[in-house]
Amino acid sequence: MGAFYLCKYLITQPMHLSGESALDNFTQTEIIFGIAFLVFLYLLWQKKQPDKNGRLPDSAITADRVEKLIINEFSAKITAKTSSPNEKTIQEQLYNFLESKILHVQEHKPIGGVTNKKIDFDIGCGAVGIEIKIGKSAFKNTERNRLVGQITDYNKANYSNDNLLLLIFCDVASFKQRVFHKDLLDTLANHSVRVHFLPIISPYENSNLEI
């Protein structure tokens, strides 16, 4: 409706000097096409706006947007002193966060193939894929080799267009092991994946770490 009233205003608005309509110099066909184009732009803009609950629709989902959303607004936490970071807990926290921000979030989505592997999160019906790992385990040789295989399979599936995020959640000790970070980045250098090392916030550790 906003585009309709804008177009109506432009057609009826008089010019200050001549007193003629602002669109008198255009043909009727040009005016109709102009109005149609404005309506198209408005509908395109509206399609990418959040729903009534503030969640982003599929058409608004990009890897850049999801990446910034997680880095800027999400914090993985452990609350009990005896608790150690585990992938299931972090995944539940991330799902709750993403589900509150994005319309379509699917956990454990099958990617097809004979192995029937599943990616941790599919965002926006195939727009972005997310795999999460815990730093302590991801830096071990066996887990790292398994991770490379997973990323390879995800790239062969639907996540090869710079739309795959790998989130490595680290406690204080593993966050500081930058040699392992570099080794993992080098290992995945030929894969289409965005890798981020993110801190796990604990009230019992100094978690004021620079990302």
d(CA 43, CA 31) in angstroms, rounded, equals 18
Contact by Cβ (8 Å): 104, 50: no
d(CA 83, CA 99) in angstroms, rounded, equals 25
For residue range 60-89, list pLDDT tens digits in order: 999 999 999 999 999 999 877 656 778 999
pLDDT > 80? residue 170:
yes
* Residue 163: both structure tokens together: 């739309």
Mean pLDDT computed over 184-198: 96
For residue range 100-156, list pLDDT tens digits in order: 999 999 999 999 876 678 999 999 999 999 999 999 888 888 899 999 999 999 999
CATH number of this structure's domain 58-201: 3.40.50
* Residue 172: both structure tokens together: 């204080």
- Phi/psi-derived region of residue 81, left when phi > 0, alpha when psi is between -120 and 50, beta in every other case: alpha
pTM of the model: 0.74
Domain coordinates in residue numbering, the chain: 2-47, 58-201
Residue 172: the pLDDT is 87
- Burial of residue 122 (CB within 10 Å: 0-12, 13-18, 19+) is buried
